[in-house]
Structure 1
């Protein structure tokens, strides 16, 4: 995905991590469901701020089990089409 943020949910020792391109610090959670929820919330915020984002969710074996794209929301001051 070019020009957007990749947000990855994956298992780590003691829980789950949410990592995002762009220099953001990783987040850590005990619950995989909570990690996925926060990854999707982050992607939604990035989308609303005009940035594309993609969430990739891995299971305990590191297999990719889910993916979602969040397209950049149109800027409010953009001229109507």
Structure 2
């Protein structure tokens, strides 16, 4: 399960990046595209960080960040 989620979160970031590449380049879209790239790539990075957490409380804290970044990605 752990390895599956690592792969899925990485794929999510890559799929968002590919989507953003297809969005027309314009001043109106740039802020949204940049934020989506940041938040979607943060999902995988923070999930990996949660795997190296030092305590159960640290795991929970890092997974909450993953949840927040995923929700932000959905928004954008």
Bigger strand fraction: 1
Higher relative contact order (CA 8 A, sep 6+): 2
Bigger helix fraction: 2
Using the size of structure 1 for normalisation, the TM-score is: 0.33
Using the size of structure 2 for normalisation, the TM-score is: 0.34
